[in-house]
Structure 1
Amino acid sequence: MPAEPKFRHDPDKDLIPRPLLLAMGALVLVSLALVSYARLTGRETVGRPEPSQIVAERVISISGDKNAVTVRGATGEVLVDLENGGFFAVIRDGLSHTRRVHRIAMDKPVRLQRYANGRLVVHDPETGWSIELTAFGENKAAFARLLPE
Protein backbone atom coordinates (compact mmCIF):
# COMPACT_ATOMS: atom_id res chain seq x y z
CA MET A 1 0.00 0.00 0.00
CA PRO A 2 1.53 3.34 -1.02
CA ALA A 3 2.06 5.99 1.64
CA GLU A 4 -0.37 8.87 1.69
CA PRO A 5 1.07 12.05 0.24
CA LYS A 6 1.84 14.75 2.75
CA PHE A 7 0.30 18.10 2.02
CA ARG A 8 2.58 21.01 2.62
CA HIS A 9 1.79 24.65 2.54
CA ASP A 10 3.66 26.29 -0.28
CA PRO A 11 3.57 30.10 0.14
CA ASP A 12 4.39 30.55 -3.54
CA LYS A 13 1.06 28.94 -4.44
CA ASP A 14 -1.18 31.17 -2.29
CA LEU A 15 -4.19 32.33 -4.27
CA ILE A 16 -4.55 35.52 -2.24
CA PRO A 17 -1.34 37.12 -1.05
CA ARG A 18 -1.06 37.67 2.71
CA PRO A 19 -0.56 41.48 2.43
CA LEU A 20 -3.81 41.73 0.47
CA LEU A 21 -5.68 39.74 3.13
CA LEU A 22 -4.29 42.03 5.82
CA ALA A 23 -5.30 45.11 3.82
CA MET A 24 -8.85 43.77 3.39
CA GLY A 25 -9.09 43.07 7.13
CA ALA A 26 -7.84 46.58 7.90
CA LEU A 27 -10.45 48.05 5.54
CA VAL A 28 -13.20 46.18 7.38
CA LEU A 29 -11.95 47.39 10.78
CA VAL A 30 -11.59 51.01 9.64
CA SER A 31 -15.09 50.94 8.11
CA LEU A 32 -16.53 49.53 11.32
CA ALA A 33 -14.73 52.20 13.38
CA LEU A 34 -16.02 55.03 11.17
CA VAL A 35 -19.62 53.80 11.23
CA SER A 36 -19.47 53.24 14.99
CA TYR A 37 -18.09 56.74 15.56
CA ALA A 38 -20.79 58.32 13.39
CA ARG A 39 -23.51 56.36 15.13
CA LEU A 40 -22.27 57.05 18.66
CA THR A 41 -21.82 60.78 18.08
CA GLY A 42 -25.26 61.15 16.50
CA ARG A 43 -23.95 62.39 13.16
CA GLU A 44 -26.72 63.26 10.72
CA THR A 45 -27.20 60.84 7.85
CA VAL A 46 -26.13 62.07 4.44
CA GLY A 47 -27.01 60.82 0.99
CA ARG A 48 -30.73 61.07 1.59
CA PRO A 49 -32.83 63.23 -0.69
CA GLU A 50 -34.04 66.54 0.66
CA PRO A 51 -37.64 66.43 1.87
CA SER A 52 -40.00 67.82 -0.74
CA GLN A 53 -43.68 67.88 -1.57
CA ILE A 54 -45.31 65.61 -4.13
CA VAL A 55 -46.41 67.69 -7.13
CA ALA A 56 -47.70 64.88 -9.37
CA GLU A 57 -48.77 61.33 -8.61
CA ARG A 58 -50.34 58.44 -10.46
CA VAL A 59 -51.42 55.04 -9.21
CA ILE A 60 -50.16 52.34 -11.59
CA SER A 61 -49.95 48.56 -11.79
CA ILE A 62 -46.97 46.90 -13.45
CA SER A 63 -47.38 43.37 -14.76
CA GLY A 64 -45.94 41.11 -17.39
CA ASP A 65 -43.94 38.01 -18.08
CA LYS A 66 -40.22 37.82 -18.87
CA ASN A 67 -39.48 40.93 -20.98
CA ALA A 68 -43.10 41.81 -21.83
CA VAL A 69 -44.56 44.55 -19.63
CA THR A 70 -47.98 46.11 -19.24
CA VAL A 71 -48.49 49.24 -17.15
CA ARG A 72 -52.07 50.08 -16.24
CA GLY A 73 -53.61 53.13 -14.61
CA ALA A 74 -55.83 53.15 -11.52
CA THR A 75 -58.97 52.40 -13.56
CA GLY A 76 -57.32 49.60 -15.54
CA GLU A 77 -56.56 51.56 -18.70
CA VAL A 78 -53.42 50.40 -20.49
CA LEU A 79 -50.73 53.08 -20.35
CA VAL A 80 -47.83 51.03 -21.70
CA ASP A 81 -47.83 47.62 -23.40
CA LEU A 82 -44.43 46.48 -24.65
CA GLU A 83 -43.06 43.15 -25.88
CA ASN A 84 -39.62 44.25 -24.68
CA GLY A 85 -40.28 46.30 -21.56
CA GLY A 86 -36.67 47.40 -21.08
CA PHE A 87 -36.47 49.71 -18.06
CA PHE A 88 -40.09 48.98 -17.12
CA ALA A 89 -39.15 45.28 -16.86
CA VAL A 90 -36.20 46.10 -14.61
CA ILE A 91 -38.42 48.04 -12.20
CA ARG A 92 -41.07 45.30 -12.34
CA ASP A 93 -38.45 42.67 -11.48
CA GLY A 94 -37.24 44.66 -8.45
CA LEU A 95 -40.81 45.16 -7.26
CA SER A 96 -41.63 41.51 -7.89
CA HIS A 97 -38.67 40.34 -5.81
CA THR A 98 -39.60 42.59 -2.89
CA ARG A 99 -43.22 41.50 -2.97
CA ARG A 100 -42.24 37.84 -3.18
CA VAL A 101 -40.09 38.29 -0.04
CA HIS A 102 -43.04 39.94 1.75
CA ARG A 103 -45.51 37.40 0.31
CA ILE A 104 -47.65 40.06 -1.33
CA ALA A 105 -49.37 39.58 -4.70
CA MET A 106 -48.15 41.58 -7.70
CA ASP A 107 -51.66 42.76 -8.61
CA LYS A 108 -51.65 45.55 -6.03
CA PRO A 109 -50.81 49.02 -7.41
CA VAL A 110 -47.80 51.23 -6.74
CA ARG A 111 -47.47 55.00 -6.78
CA LEU A 112 -45.45 56.92 -9.33
CA GLN A 113 -44.55 60.26 -7.73
CA ARG A 114 -42.82 63.44 -8.88
CA TYR A 115 -41.54 65.75 -6.16
CA ALA A 116 -41.10 69.53 -6.28
CA ASN A 117 -37.29 69.12 -6.22
CA GLY A 118 -37.38 67.02 -9.44
CA ARG A 119 -37.16 63.55 -7.92
CA LEU A 120 -39.14 60.79 -9.62
CA VAL A 121 -39.99 57.78 -7.46
CA VAL A 122 -41.91 54.52 -7.71
CA HIS A 123 -43.22 53.76 -4.22
CA ASP A 124 -44.87 50.54 -3.09
CA PRO A 125 -47.17 51.30 -0.15
CA GLU A 126 -47.61 47.57 0.55
CA THR A 127 -43.94 46.92 1.41
CA GLY A 128 -42.42 50.39 1.85
CA TRP A 129 -40.10 49.67 -1.10
CA SER A 130 -39.26 52.58 -3.34
CA ILE A 131 -36.84 53.33 -6.10
CA GLU A 132 -35.46 56.69 -7.16
CA LEU A 133 -35.87 56.76 -10.93
CA THR A 134 -33.85 59.96 -11.14
CA ALA A 135 -30.72 57.87 -10.52
CA PHE A 136 -31.20 56.10 -13.86
CA GLY A 137 -30.57 59.04 -16.17
CA GLU A 138 -32.53 58.97 -19.41
CA ASN A 139 -34.45 55.85 -18.40
CA LYS A 140 -36.52 57.92 -15.99
CA ALA A 141 -38.17 59.60 -19.00
CA ALA A 142 -40.05 56.36 -19.70
CA PHE A 143 -41.87 56.73 -16.39
CA ALA A 144 -41.99 60.54 -16.44
CA ARG A 145 -44.24 60.39 -19.54
CA LEU A 146 -46.87 58.55 -17.46
CA LEU A 147 -47.37 61.53 -15.13
CA PRO A 148 -49.56 64.53 -15.92
CA GLU A 149 -47.65 67.77 -16.49
Structure 2
Amino acid sequence: MSSTHSHSDMLPRGTLVIAGALVAFAFTSTAIVRVAGIPAAASPAAMRIEAKIAPVASRDLRFLDRADGAVVIEDVHSGQPASVIPAGQKTGFIRGVMRGLARERRSRGIGFQPPFNLTLWRDGELSLTDSATGRQIELTAFGSTNRAAFAALLPAPTASSQAVPGRAPLTVPVT
Protein backbone atom coordinates (compact mmCIF):
# COMPACT_ATOMS: atom_id res chain seq x y z
CA MET A 1 0.00 0.00 0.00
CA SER A 2 1.28 3.39 -0.78
CA SER A 3 0.57 6.39 1.33
CA THR A 4 0.42 9.05 -1.29
CA HIS A 5 -1.19 12.25 -0.29
CA SER A 6 -3.13 14.42 -2.67
CA HIS A 7 -3.21 18.17 -2.14
CA SER A 8 -6.68 18.32 -3.69
CA ASP A 9 -8.18 17.00 -0.41
CA MET A 10 -6.86 19.91 1.69
CA LEU A 11 -8.69 23.11 2.57
CA PRO A 12 -7.40 26.26 0.95
CA ARG A 13 -4.76 28.03 3.04
CA GLY A 14 -6.85 31.24 3.24
CA THR A 15 -9.77 29.35 4.82
CA LEU A 16 -7.51 27.91 7.50
CA VAL A 17 -5.99 31.32 8.26
CA ILE A 18 -9.45 32.91 8.62
CA ALA A 19 -10.67 30.06 10.86
CA GLY A 20 -7.57 30.37 13.04
CA ALA A 21 -8.00 34.15 13.30
CA LEU A 22 -11.64 33.70 14.33
CA VAL A 23 -10.69 31.24 17.09
CA ALA A 24 -7.91 33.57 18.30
CA PHE A 25 -10.35 36.51 18.34
CA ALA A 26 -12.88 34.52 20.41
CA PHE A 27 -10.24 33.49 22.98
CA THR A 28 -8.82 37.04 23.17
CA SER A 29 -12.26 38.63 23.59
CA THR A 30 -13.18 36.17 26.33
CA ALA A 31 -9.91 36.80 28.15
CA ILE A 32 -10.37 40.58 28.00
CA VAL A 33 -13.90 40.36 29.40
CA ARG A 34 -12.77 38.05 32.23
CA VAL A 35 -9.67 40.05 33.17
CA ALA A 36 -11.43 43.43 32.96
CA GLY A 37 -14.30 42.15 35.12
CA ILE A 38 -16.99 43.17 32.63
CA PRO A 39 -20.25 41.62 33.84
CA ALA A 40 -22.13 39.29 31.54
CA ALA A 41 -25.50 40.46 30.28
CA ALA A 42 -27.90 40.10 33.18
CA SER A 43 -30.95 37.91 32.94
CA PRO A 44 -34.32 39.49 33.73
CA ALA A 45 -34.55 37.27 36.82
CA ALA A 46 -31.18 38.52 38.09
CA MET A 47 -32.15 42.12 37.38
CA ARG A 48 -35.41 41.68 39.35
CA ILE A 49 -33.50 40.28 42.33
CA GLU A 50 -31.02 43.16 42.22
CA ALA A 51 -33.81 45.75 41.96
CA LYS A 52 -35.85 43.93 44.64
CA ILE A 53 -38.93 43.74 42.40
CA ALA A 54 -41.66 41.78 44.15
CA PRO A 55 -44.30 39.55 42.60
CA VAL A 56 -47.81 40.95 42.32
CA ALA A 57 -49.58 37.69 41.52
CA SER A 58 -48.45 34.09 41.20
CA ARG A 59 -49.99 30.72 40.46
CA ASP A 60 -48.65 27.17 40.36
CA LEU A 61 -50.04 25.36 37.33
CA ARG A 62 -49.95 21.87 35.86
CA PHE A 63 -50.66 21.24 32.17
CA LEU A 64 -52.43 17.95 31.43
CA ASP A 65 -53.27 16.41 28.05
CA ARG A 66 -56.75 14.93 27.84
CA ALA A 67 -57.61 11.91 25.68
CA ASP A 68 -59.72 14.12 23.38
CA GLY A 69 -56.69 16.33 22.61
CA ALA A 70 -57.65 19.20 24.90
CA VAL A 71 -55.15 20.64 27.37
CA VAL A 72 -56.36 21.14 30.93
CA ILE A 73 -54.50 23.81 32.88
CA GLU A 74 -54.93 22.92 36.54
CA ASP A 75 -54.30 25.05 39.62
CA VAL A 76 -51.94 22.85 41.65
CA HIS A 77 -53.16 24.01 45.06
CA SER A 78 -56.91 23.80 44.48
CA GLY A 79 -56.89 20.96 41.94
CA GLN A 80 -59.44 22.96 39.94
CA PRO A 81 -59.04 23.76 36.24
CA ALA A 82 -57.75 27.28 35.60
CA SER A 83 -58.56 26.88 31.91
CA VAL A 84 -59.15 24.30 29.20
CA ILE A 85 -57.73 24.68 25.71
CA PRO A 86 -60.02 22.76 23.37
CA ALA A 87 -58.57 20.16 20.99
CA GLY A 88 -59.82 21.91 17.87
CA GLN A 89 -58.17 25.20 18.73
CA LYS A 90 -55.19 26.26 16.64
CA THR A 91 -51.81 25.49 18.17
CA GLY A 92 -51.69 28.80 20.02
CA PHE A 93 -48.97 30.38 22.09
CA ILE A 94 -49.65 28.44 25.30
CA ARG A 95 -49.50 25.10 23.48
CA GLY A 96 -46.27 26.11 21.73
CA VAL A 97 -44.52 27.20 24.93
CA MET A 98 -45.65 24.13 26.83
CA ARG A 99 -44.64 21.79 24.00
CA GLY A 100 -41.06 23.12 24.23
CA LEU A 101 -40.97 22.82 28.01
CA ALA A 102 -42.45 19.29 27.89
CA ARG A 103 -39.80 18.25 25.35
CA GLU A 104 -37.08 19.47 27.73
CA ARG A 105 -38.67 17.56 30.63
CA ARG A 106 -38.91 14.35 28.56
CA SER A 107 -35.24 14.60 27.62
CA ARG A 108 -34.39 14.75 31.34
CA GLY A 109 -36.80 11.98 32.32
CA ILE A 110 -39.13 14.34 34.23
CA GLY A 111 -42.88 13.75 34.20
CA PHE A 112 -45.79 16.18 34.24
CA GLN A 113 -46.23 16.28 38.04
CA PRO A 114 -43.88 19.15 39.02
CA PRO A 115 -45.74 22.45 38.59
CA PHE A 116 -44.93 25.51 36.56
CA ASN A 117 -45.02 28.87 38.34
CA LEU A 118 -46.63 31.78 36.52
CA THR A 119 -45.67 35.13 38.07
CA LEU A 120 -46.66 38.73 37.40
CA TRP A 121 -44.00 41.10 38.74
CA ARG A 122 -44.46 44.63 40.12
CA ASP A 123 -42.66 46.05 37.03
CA GLY A 124 -45.32 44.48 34.76
CA GLU A 125 -43.17 41.62 33.51
CA LEU A 126 -44.70 38.13 33.32
CA SER A 127 -42.64 34.95 33.66
CA LEU A 128 -43.22 31.21 33.60
CA THR A 129 -40.78 29.04 35.58
CA ASP A 130 -40.48 25.27 35.33
CA SER A 131 -40.03 24.12 38.93
CA ALA A 132 -38.42 20.87 37.76
CA THR A 133 -35.74 22.27 35.43
CA GLY A 134 -35.42 25.85 36.69
CA ARG A 135 -35.95 27.19 33.17
CA GLN A 136 -37.65 30.57 33.14
CA ILE A 137 -39.42 32.11 30.15
CA GLU A 138 -40.05 35.84 30.04
CA LEU A 139 -43.50 35.94 28.46
CA THR A 140 -43.68 39.72 28.03
CA ALA A 141 -40.99 39.42 25.35
CA PHE A 142 -43.46 37.64 23.04
CA GLY A 143 -45.86 40.58 22.67
CA SER A 144 -49.04 41.73 24.35
CA THR A 145 -51.39 39.16 22.76
CA ASN A 146 -49.21 36.20 23.73
CA ARG A 147 -48.59 37.70 27.19
CA ALA A 148 -52.35 38.08 27.67
CA ALA A 149 -52.90 34.36 26.96
CA PHE A 150 -50.83 33.48 30.04
CA ALA A 151 -51.89 36.51 32.12
CA ALA A 152 -55.49 35.26 31.89
CA LEU A 153 -54.41 32.23 33.96
CA LEU A 154 -53.53 34.38 36.97
CA PRO A 155 -55.98 35.07 39.79
CA ALA A 156 -57.92 38.32 39.54
CA PRO A 157 -55.61 41.19 40.51
CA THR A 158 -56.22 43.23 43.63
CA ALA A 159 -56.83 46.97 43.39
CA SER A 160 -53.23 47.71 44.43
CA SER A 161 -51.76 45.43 41.76
CA GLN A 162 -53.78 46.79 38.83
CA ALA A 163 -51.75 49.98 38.50
CA VAL A 164 -48.62 48.62 36.85
CA PRO A 165 -46.85 51.37 34.88
CA GLY A 166 -46.93 50.76 31.13
CA ARG A 167 -49.33 47.80 31.31
CA ALA A 168 -53.06 47.57 30.98
CA PRO A 169 -54.88 46.06 33.96
CA LEU A 170 -55.39 42.31 33.70
CA THR A 171 -58.78 40.86 33.04
CA VAL A 172 -59.34 37.23 33.88
CA PRO A 173 -62.05 35.36 31.97
CA VAL A 174 -64.11 32.83 33.87
CA THR A 175 -63.76 29.34 32.39
TM-score interval, normalised by the smaller of the two chains: 0.7 to 0.9
Q: Tell whether the 8 Å contact from 1:68 to 1:85 is kept in structure 2 after alignment.
A: no
Name 1:99's counterpart in structure 2: 105
Residue 147 (structure 2) aligned to one of 116, 136, 140: 140
How far, CA to CA, are the matches of 1:68 and 1:20 in structure 2? Answer: 53
SS at match of 1:59: strand
Query: Residue 23 of structure 1: CA displacement?
Result: 4.2
After superposition, give the CA deviation of every residue in 1:45-97 in whole Å (9 maximum; x if it has no partner): 224222121111011111337x7432122223221323234111111122212
SS at match of 2:72: strand
SS at match of 2:43: coil
Name 1:9's counterpart in structure 2: 8
How far, CA to CA, are the matches of 2:97 and 2:91 in structure 1? Answer: 10
- Any runs of at least 4 consecutive aligned residues in structure 1 with deviations exceeding 4 A, and if so which? 17-25
TM-score (norm 2): 0.65
After superposition, give the CA deviation of every residue in 1:25-50 in whole Å (9 maximum; x if it has no partner): 53443233222321233222224222
Name 1:53's counterpart in structure 2: 54
Letter in 2 for 1:142: A
Map of 1:14-93 to 2, 5 A cutoff?
22-23=17-18, 25-49=20-44, 50-51=47-48, 52-64=53-65, 68-74=70-76, 75-78=78-81, 79-83=83-87, 84-93=90-99
Size of the alignment, in residue pairs?
Answer: 139
Name 1:109's counterpart in structure 2: 115
How far, CA to CA, are the matches of 2:137 and 2:92 in structure 1? Answer: 16
How far, CA to CA, are the matches of 2:142 and 2:9 in structure 1? Answer: 48
Give the 3 Å change call, closer, same or farther, for CA 121–22 of structure 1 in structure 2: farther
CA RMSD of aligned residues (A): 2.8
- Structure 2: stretches of 5+ with no match in the other structure: 1-5, 158-175
Query: Residue 9 of structure 1: CA displacement?
Result: 2.6
Letter in 1 for 2:8: H
- Structure 1: stretches of 5+ with no match in the other structure: 1-6
Query: Residue 123 of structure 1: CA displacement?
Result: 0.6
How far, CA to CA, are the matches of 2:25 and 2:128 in structure 1? Answer: 35
Query: Residue 103 of structure 1: CA displacement?
Result: 1.8
Q: Tell whether the 8 Å contact from 2:117 to 2:130 is kept in structure 1 after alignment.
A: yes
Query: Residue 118 of structure 1: CA displacement?
Result: 1.8
TM-score (norm 1): 0.74
Query: Residue 115 of structure 1: CA displacement?
Result: 1.1
Map of 1:122-133 to 2, 5 A cutoff?
122-133=128-139
